Structure 1
Amino acid sequence: MNIHFFKYQGAGNDFILIDNRDLSFKDTDNNAVLQLCNRRFGIGADGLMLLQNHADYDFEMLYFNSDGNLGSMCGNGGRCIVAFAKHLGVIDQETDFLAVDGPHYAKISEEGNWVDLQMIDIDNINKDGDAYVLNTGSPHYVAEIQNLKDYDVYENGKAIRNNDTYKEQGINVNFVEDKGDHLFVRTFERGVEDETYACGTGVTAVALSMAQHNHQIGHIETPIKVLGGDLKIQFDYDGKQFTNVFLCGPAEQVFEGEISI
């Protein structure tokens, strides 16, 4: 079967996108996802998304990790699929779409390369020692690290993701260094089982955790730098709940093509 696909990236987080409004790509075929996401024998990507019709929303987003399994919410993936939906003519400048963690609102620039994606509200951040643990659509562990650029994110992230507490369900592991005018973040992602250039739900988790850590209150905008570029998180925090949470950043089409699977 020939598959017509598009490749998008958001701050270095890269995805295969397929217009599946005709349901020709079966979402149970995890071997196909695994093959397509393979960087040596396929297209190569951190994950694969299907854009599908939904009766109550502009579209539905189905996200698969590069290991072939259906994944939890992917923030940068959500921004990329919004740009994809605009490219297809499914939406204009704003949208309400459905993802695995519920409905999401997003708005896109007229040029189509910058997307502000509303994330879920958060009212519960737990602690694991000095680290923070929360779910921003996907589960995240957040630890503050000094000299992060030289830190072994792969080995340390892998150890935390596979320890006795998190091994069964898995967790995404984020390391953050406060640089004063921005936060520098590196992430080990479950499902990819490696460090990625960016993680949208991860940087969201980091920004909220650091706001609580630093006792910030009010409307907050947090610049984030990741290996793949710049992102921004903006939200309101009253000391108890995080609301109006937006993940903001670039979403760009890299190429399109056809591949046989």
Structure 2
Amino acid sequence: MRVDFTKMHGLGNDFVVLDARARAVPAIDAAIARALADRRTGIGCDQLILLEPSETADFRMRIFNHDGGEVEACGNASRAVALLHGADASVETSGGVIHVEPASGGASVDMGKPRFDWDAIPLAYAMDTAIMPVGWDGLDQPGAVNVGNPHVIFFVENADAVPLDEVGPEIENDPLFPERVNVNVATIENREHIRLRVWERGVGLTRACGTGACATAIHAMRRGLADREVTVTLPGGDLVIAWGDDNRIRMTGPATESYRGSFEWGDFA
């Protein structure tokens, strides 16, 4: 069976998108997702995105990380899907229903409401998620936010100086986080600008992470360190994150279609 795909990216965070809304594709499991995501023997991507019909929204988006694990949310993929869809839409995800709106050169996404309760992150045991009494290798007192998926955020003097490729895997897989966690290190430049690097759960170091930008901005706002709208600069570029009076998060930024192609399903199954 030949299957069409669209290769897309948001600030360098790249995706293979399979559109099964009109034409079904065979069932995807972790092994197939890993094979397609492999940059040497597959198409290559950070995440495999599957679009399907939905009974509760305009369509459903499923997200498989590079390691094959299925996750709840992906902000950059949401913007890419908005661009691909070409119109305002409600999108069902495992992390809840989000709303996407294409814009010039990208999209704006209503990412829903942040969650701060320890068991909503989730953590292994109760603690204050605004200033957590824990630390790893010089990184301490982080905050935790769930924005559809779990994030831990450290504010540091220089985000570029943190050996995130070393400490990121340790924190991601710490028993404190029963579903693992995305690790963010951020430097607050001023109340309207944050610099950020992300170790993404199941992916590793990434050029951009939309949910990481949302979680980091919300944590800074929650701590009184940033205004309710900020620019978050990642290695791949800028995202604008706003936290409205209705408690909903809006993320705005670019998305790009790279190319289209097809593959033989049996080569990866």
1:107 to 98, 101, 124: 101
Partner of 1:153: 164
User: Contact 1:15–1:49 at 8 Å: present in 2 too?
Assistant: yes
1:177 aligned partner, one-letter code: T
Partner of 1:250: 254
Q: TM-score, normalised by structure 2?
A: 0.85
Query: For 2:262 and 2:66, how far apart are their aligned partners in 1?
Result: 19
Query: For 1:122 and 1:216, how far apart are their aligned partners in 2?
Result: 16
Query: For 1:224 and 1:117, how far apart are their aligned partners in 2?
Result: 15
2:110 aligned partner, one-letter code: Q
Query: For 2:80 and 2:259, how far apart are their aligned partners in 1?
Result: 13
Query: For 2:60 and 2:260, how far apart are their aligned partners in 1?
Result: 21
1:187-226 to structure 2, matched below 5 A, reads 187-192=198-203, 194-214=204-224, 220-226=228-234
User: Contact 2:172–2:181 at 8 Å: present in 1 too?
Assistant: yes
Alpha-carbon distance, 1:182 to partner: 1.2
**Local SS of the residue matching 2:238:** strand
Give CA deviations for 1:232-252 in whole Å, capped at 9, x if unaligned.
101125xxxx71310111111
Aligned sequence identity (%): 29
User: Contact 1:23–1:52 at 8 Å: present in 2 too?
Assistant: no
| Corresponding position: 1:15 with 2:15 | yes
**Local SS of the residue matching 1:137:** coil
2:239 to 227, 231, 234: 231
Partner of 1:131: 142
| Unpaired segments ≥5 residues, structure 2 | 118-128, 134-140
1:144 to 155, 166, 183: 155
Partner of 2:123: none
1:204 aligned partner, one-letter code: C
**Local SS of the residue matching 1:7:** strand
Query: For 1:84 and 1:144, how far apart are their aligned partners in 2?
Result: 35
Summarize the Cα distance change of 1:222–1:157 in structure 2 as closer, same or farther, 3 Å threshold.
same
**Local SS of the residue matching 1:158:** helix
Task: Please provide the CA RMSD for this pair.
Answer: 1.8
User: Contact 1:106–1:116 at 8 Å: present in 2 too?
Assistant: yes
User: Contact 1:120–1:245 at 8 Å: present in 2 too?
Assistant: yes
User: Contact 1:147–1:177 at 8 Å: present in 2 too?
Assistant: yes
Alpha-carbon distance, 1:185 to partner: 0.5
Query: For 1:229 and 1:2, how far apart are their aligned partners in 2?
Result: 35
| Corresponding position: 1:98 with 2:92 | yes
Instruction: State the 4+ residue runs in structure 1 displaced beyond 6 angstroms.
Output: none
**Equivalenced residues, count:** 245
Give CA deviations for 1:52-86 in whole Å, capped at 9, x if unaligned.
12244221111111111221111111111111112
Query: For 1:71 and 1:117, how far apart are their aligned partners in 2?
Result: 18
Query: For 2:147 and 2:222, how far apart are their aligned partners in 1?
Result: 15
User: Contact 1:71–1:191 at 8 Å: present in 2 too?
Assistant: no
2:63 aligned partner, one-letter code: Y
Partner of 1:46: 46
Alpha-carbon distance, 1:216 to partner: 5.7
2:248 aligned partner, one-letter code: N
User: Contact 1:10–1:252 at 8 Å: present in 2 too?
Assistant: yes
Query: For 1:58 and 1:101, how far apart are their aligned partners in 2?
Result: 16
Partner of 2:80: 80
Query: For 2:196 and 2:176, how far apart are their aligned partners in 1?
Result: 23
Give CA deviations for 1:79-107 in whole Å, capped at 9, x if unaligned.
11111112xxxxx3x11121112211121
Partner of 1:89: none
| Unpaired segments ≥5 residues, structure 1 | 87-91
